[in-house]
Amino acid sequence: MAHVSFKNPPIIEAVAALRFHGSESWTPEDHRLLERALRPLYAGEARQEQEVQVHANFKDGDATAAAKTAAGRLLMPSADNSALVGLGQRLLSVHALKPYPGWAAFEDRIKDAVSVVLENVNVDGLLEVAVRYIDRIGLPAEEITDLSSYFVSIPARPQSMPRTMTAFQCITEAFDADTGTLAALTTAAIPPREDEGFALLYDLNLVRRYPPDGALPAADYLDVVNALHHRQYEIFMESVTDKTRELFA
Protein backbone atom coordinates (compact mmCIF):
# COMPACT_ATOMS: atom_id res chain seq x y z
CA MET A 1 0.00 0.00 0.00
CA ALA A 2 1.47 3.34 -1.07
CA HIS A 3 1.77 5.80 1.82
CA VAL A 4 -0.34 8.95 1.77
CA SER A 5 0.94 12.02 3.59
CA PHE A 6 -1.76 13.88 5.49
CA LYS A 7 -1.67 17.63 6.06
CA ASN A 8 -3.11 17.22 9.57
CA PRO A 9 -2.18 13.73 10.79
CA PRO A 10 -3.89 12.68 14.05
CA ILE A 11 -0.63 11.35 15.53
CA ILE A 12 0.15 12.64 19.01
CA GLU A 13 3.16 10.36 19.55
CA ALA A 14 5.19 7.89 17.51
CA VAL A 15 7.70 5.58 19.18
CA ALA A 16 10.41 3.21 18.00
CA ALA A 17 11.87 1.04 20.77
CA LEU A 18 14.80 -1.36 20.62
CA ARG A 19 15.98 -3.75 23.34
CA PHE A 20 19.56 -4.86 22.81
CA HIS A 21 21.13 -8.20 23.63
CA GLY A 22 24.45 -8.32 25.43
CA SER A 23 26.43 -10.51 27.77
CA GLU A 24 26.68 -7.67 30.30
CA SER A 25 24.30 -5.00 31.55
CA TRP A 26 24.91 -1.40 30.66
CA THR A 27 26.87 0.23 33.45
CA PRO A 28 26.30 3.73 34.85
CA GLU A 29 29.34 4.79 32.85
CA ASP A 30 27.76 3.36 29.67
CA HIS A 31 24.63 5.41 30.36
CA ARG A 32 26.65 8.57 30.97
CA LEU A 33 28.55 7.96 27.74
CA LEU A 34 25.33 7.53 25.76
CA GLU A 35 23.76 10.58 27.40
CA ARG A 36 26.75 12.74 26.45
CA ALA A 37 26.72 11.45 22.88
CA LEU A 38 22.97 12.12 22.49
CA ARG A 39 23.05 15.54 24.13
CA PRO A 40 23.74 17.51 20.89
CA LEU A 41 20.46 16.14 19.46
CA TYR A 42 18.46 16.22 22.72
CA ALA A 43 19.44 19.38 24.55
CA GLY A 44 16.33 19.77 26.73
CA GLU A 45 16.21 19.09 30.46
CA ALA A 46 16.47 15.35 31.08
CA ARG A 47 14.22 13.59 33.58
CA GLN A 48 14.39 10.18 35.22
CA GLU A 49 11.33 7.96 35.19
CA GLN A 50 10.64 6.05 38.38
CA GLU A 51 9.73 2.38 38.26
CA VAL A 52 7.81 0.64 41.04
CA GLN A 53 8.84 -2.99 41.57
CA VAL A 54 6.49 -5.22 43.55
CA HIS A 55 7.70 -8.51 45.07
CA ALA A 56 5.24 -11.05 46.48
CA ASN A 57 6.20 -13.47 49.27
CA PHE A 58 4.25 -16.58 50.19
CA LYS A 59 4.90 -18.28 53.53
CA ASP A 60 2.77 -20.49 55.78
CA GLY A 61 -0.31 -19.80 53.75
CA ASP A 62 0.07 -16.04 54.03
CA ALA A 63 0.95 -13.66 51.23
CA THR A 64 2.74 -10.37 51.66
CA ALA A 65 3.93 -7.87 49.12
CA ALA A 66 6.73 -5.34 49.26
CA ALA A 67 7.25 -2.51 46.84
CA LYS A 68 10.33 -0.45 46.12
CA THR A 69 11.07 2.36 43.74
CA ALA A 70 13.89 2.00 41.24
CA ALA A 71 15.23 4.22 38.50
CA GLY A 72 13.57 3.61 35.13
CA ARG A 73 14.32 5.22 31.79
CA LEU A 74 16.17 8.48 31.39
CA LEU A 75 14.11 10.69 29.06
CA MET A 76 15.91 13.41 27.12
CA PRO A 77 13.81 15.93 25.14
CA SER A 78 14.95 17.90 22.15
CA ALA A 79 15.47 21.64 22.66
CA ASP A 80 12.05 22.41 21.14
CA ASN A 81 10.28 19.49 22.92
CA SER A 82 9.20 18.01 19.60
CA ALA A 83 11.03 14.73 20.24
CA LEU A 84 12.38 12.53 23.02
CA VAL A 85 14.93 9.79 23.39
CA GLY A 86 14.74 7.27 26.23
CA LEU A 87 17.58 5.22 27.73
CA GLY A 88 16.94 2.20 29.93
CA GLN A 89 18.75 -1.04 30.69
CA ARG A 90 19.83 -2.13 27.19
CA LEU A 91 16.82 -0.18 25.96
CA LEU A 92 16.58 2.73 23.52
CA SER A 93 13.35 4.49 22.62
CA VAL A 94 12.92 7.32 20.13
CA HIS A 95 9.77 9.45 20.29
CA ALA A 96 8.30 11.94 17.82
CA LEU A 97 5.66 14.21 19.33
CA LYS A 98 2.92 16.33 17.82
CA PRO A 99 3.22 17.86 15.25
CA TYR A 100 4.42 14.64 13.61
CA PRO A 101 7.34 15.45 11.27
CA GLY A 102 6.67 12.62 8.81
CA TRP A 103 8.27 9.20 8.55
CA ALA A 104 11.45 10.32 6.74
CA ALA A 105 12.38 12.77 9.51
CA PHE A 106 11.41 10.29 12.24
CA GLU A 107 13.43 7.52 10.58
CA ASP A 108 16.48 9.81 10.52
CA ARG A 109 16.13 10.38 14.27
CA ILE A 110 15.91 6.63 14.85
CA LYS A 111 19.04 6.01 12.77
CA ASP A 112 20.97 8.76 14.56
CA ALA A 113 20.07 7.42 18.01
CA VAL A 114 20.83 3.78 17.16
CA SER A 115 24.18 4.83 15.67
CA VAL A 116 25.08 6.43 19.00
CA VAL A 117 24.36 3.15 20.81
CA LEU A 118 26.25 0.97 18.34
CA GLU A 119 29.27 3.30 18.37
CA ASN A 120 29.55 3.58 22.15
CA VAL A 121 28.52 0.28 23.78
CA ASN A 122 28.92 -3.38 22.92
CA VAL A 123 25.76 -5.16 21.79
CA ASP A 124 25.15 -8.69 20.54
CA GLY A 125 22.12 -7.97 18.41
CA LEU A 126 18.55 -7.17 19.36
CA LEU A 127 15.97 -8.99 21.48
CA GLU A 128 13.03 -6.73 20.64
CA VAL A 129 12.02 -4.13 18.06
CA ALA A 130 8.76 -2.19 18.42
CA VAL A 131 6.95 0.58 16.58
CA ARG A 132 4.02 2.31 18.26
CA TYR A 133 1.71 5.07 17.06
CA ILE A 134 -0.78 6.87 19.30
CA ASP A 135 -3.48 8.87 17.52
CA ARG A 136 -6.27 11.14 18.72
CA ILE A 137 -9.17 11.47 16.31
CA GLY A 138 -11.86 14.06 17.04
CA LEU A 139 -15.19 14.22 15.20
CA PRO A 140 -17.31 17.33 14.59
CA ALA A 141 -20.11 17.83 17.11
CA GLU A 142 -22.81 17.11 14.54
CA GLU A 143 -21.24 13.83 13.39
CA ILE A 144 -21.52 11.43 16.34
CA THR A 145 -24.65 9.40 15.70
CA ASP A 146 -23.06 6.88 13.34
CA LEU A 147 -19.48 6.14 14.41
CA SER A 148 -19.29 3.19 12.03
CA SER A 149 -19.16 5.65 9.13
CA TYR A 150 -15.80 6.80 10.54
CA PHE A 151 -14.27 3.79 12.27
CA VAL A 152 -14.02 0.13 11.34
CA SER A 153 -12.25 -0.98 14.53
CA ILE A 154 -14.82 -0.16 17.21
CA PRO A 155 -17.06 -2.56 19.14
CA ALA A 156 -20.31 -3.54 17.49
CA ARG A 157 -23.37 -1.91 19.04
CA PRO A 158 -26.45 -4.11 19.56
CA GLN A 159 -29.37 -2.65 17.63
CA SER A 160 -31.49 -2.32 20.78
CA MET A 161 -28.95 0.01 22.42
CA PRO A 162 -29.24 3.77 21.93
CA ARG A 163 -27.65 4.79 18.67
CA THR A 164 -25.08 7.25 20.01
CA MET A 165 -22.15 5.42 21.59
CA THR A 166 -20.54 7.59 24.26
CA ALA A 167 -17.97 5.34 25.95
CA PHE A 168 -16.05 2.16 25.23
CA GLN A 169 -12.61 0.59 25.44
CA CYS A 170 -11.44 -2.28 23.31
CA ILE A 171 -8.07 -4.10 23.31
CA THR A 172 -7.25 -6.46 20.46
CA GLU A 173 -4.09 -8.54 20.08
CA ALA A 174 -3.10 -10.58 17.04
CA PHE A 175 0.02 -12.55 16.13
CA ASP A 176 1.52 -13.13 12.69
CA ALA A 177 3.44 -16.41 12.89
CA ASP A 178 5.05 -15.86 9.47
CA THR A 179 6.91 -12.70 10.56
CA GLY A 180 6.77 -13.09 14.34
CA THR A 181 4.90 -9.82 14.67
CA LEU A 182 2.59 -9.13 17.60
CA ALA A 183 0.06 -6.33 17.08
CA ALA A 184 -1.77 -4.81 20.05
CA LEU A 185 -4.49 -2.26 19.29
CA THR A 186 -6.30 -0.23 21.93
CA THR A 187 -9.25 1.94 20.94
CA ALA A 188 -11.11 3.98 23.51
CA ALA A 189 -13.54 6.86 23.69
CA ILE A 190 -11.88 9.82 25.43
CA PRO A 191 -13.25 13.21 26.55
CA PRO A 192 -13.92 15.39 23.48
CA ARG A 193 -12.95 19.03 23.21
CA GLU A 194 -15.54 21.79 23.19
CA ASP A 195 -15.83 21.80 19.39
CA GLU A 196 -16.05 18.00 19.13
CA GLY A 197 -18.87 15.55 19.52
CA PHE A 198 -16.66 12.50 19.98
CA ALA A 199 -12.96 11.68 20.33
CA LEU A 200 -11.16 8.38 19.87
CA LEU A 201 -7.79 7.26 21.20
CA TYR A 202 -6.18 4.88 18.71
CA ASP A 203 -3.05 3.20 20.10
CA LEU A 204 -1.32 0.60 17.92
CA ASN A 205 1.84 -1.19 19.05
CA LEU A 206 3.71 -3.66 16.83
CA VAL A 207 6.50 -5.80 18.29
CA ARG A 208 8.94 -8.46 17.13
CA ARG A 209 10.85 -10.41 19.79
CA TYR A 210 13.88 -12.64 19.36
CA PRO A 211 15.39 -15.29 21.70
CA PRO A 212 18.91 -14.69 23.03
CA ASP A 213 20.29 -17.51 20.89
CA GLY A 214 18.61 -16.04 17.80
CA ALA A 215 19.03 -12.32 18.38
CA LEU A 216 18.44 -10.06 15.40
CA PRO A 217 21.77 -8.83 13.97
CA ALA A 218 22.16 -5.15 14.75
CA ALA A 219 22.76 -4.40 11.08
CA ASP A 220 19.23 -5.61 10.27
CA TYR A 221 17.33 -3.41 12.73
CA LEU A 222 16.24 -0.79 10.18
CA ASP A 223 14.63 -3.39 7.89
CA VAL A 224 12.49 -4.56 10.82
CA VAL A 225 11.62 -1.01 11.89
CA ASN A 226 10.48 -0.20 8.36
CA ALA A 227 8.49 -3.44 8.08
CA LEU A 228 6.70 -2.67 11.35
CA HIS A 229 6.02 0.90 10.28
CA HIS A 230 4.57 -0.34 6.99
CA ARG A 231 2.32 -2.83 8.80
CA GLN A 232 1.25 -0.11 11.24
CA TYR A 233 0.24 2.13 8.34
CA GLU A 234 -1.75 -0.65 6.68
CA ILE A 235 -3.64 -1.49 9.88
CA PHE A 236 -4.44 2.14 10.57
CA MET A 237 -5.68 2.82 7.05
CA GLU A 238 -7.91 -0.26 7.23
CA SER A 239 -9.26 0.88 10.62
CA VAL A 240 -10.74 4.15 9.36
CA THR A 241 -12.96 5.10 6.46
CA ASP A 242 -12.57 7.63 3.64
CA LYS A 243 -14.77 9.98 5.66
CA THR A 244 -12.27 9.88 8.51
CA ARG A 245 -9.29 10.38 6.23
CA GLU A 246 -10.93 13.56 4.92
CA LEU A 247 -10.50 15.02 8.41
CA PHE A 248 -6.72 14.75 8.05
CA ALA A 249 -6.42 16.12 4.51
Q: Domain extents for the chain? A: 26-123, 125-249
When pLDDT is averaged across residues 99-114 and rounded to a whole number, the result is 97
For residue 131, which of 67, 87, 184, 88 has the smallest C-alpha distance?
Answer: 184
Asked whether the predicted pLDDT for residue 67 surpasses 70, the reply is no
Three-state secondary structure call for residue 44: coil
When pLDDT is averaged across residues 155-177 and rounded to a whole number, the result is 86
Q: Give 18's Cβ-side CA count (13 Å radius).
A: 30
Confidence of residue 57 (pLDDT cuts 50, 70, 90): low
Percent over 90 (pLDDT), the chain: 73
Written as one letter, the residue type at 204 is: L
When pLDDT is averaged across residues 36-63 and rounded to a whole number, the result is 75
Confidence of residue 53 (pLDDT cuts 50, 70, 90): very low
DSSP string, 3-29: ----SS--EEEEEEEEEE--SSPPPHH
Helices (H), the chain: 28-38, 103-120, 221-239, 242-248
Q: Is 137 exposed, middle or buried (0-12, 13-18, 19+ CB in 10 A)?
A: buried
Three-state secondary structure call for residue 132: strand
Is 224 in contact with 129 (CB distance < 8 Å)? yes
Written as one letter, the residue type at 137 is: I
When pLDDT is averaged across residues 9-27 and rounded to a whole number, the result is 95
Torsion angle defined by CA atoms of residues 114, 118, 121 and 125, in that order, rounded to the nearest 10 degrees: 100
Residue 238's pLDDT is what?
96
Q: At what angle do helices 103-120 and 221-239 cross, to 10 degrees?
A: 150
Which CATH number applies to 125-249: 3.30.2030, 1.20.120, 2.40.128, 1.10.10?
3.30.2030
Average pLDDT score over the chain: 90
Residue 70's pLDDT is what?
45
Three-state secondary structure call for residue 234: helix
Is 103 in contact with 89 (CB distance < 8 Å)? no
Q: Of 51-60, 117-126, 145-154, 220-229, which gets the smallest average pLDDT? A: 51-60
The C-alpha atoms of residue 88 and residue 130 are separated, in whole angstroms, by: 15
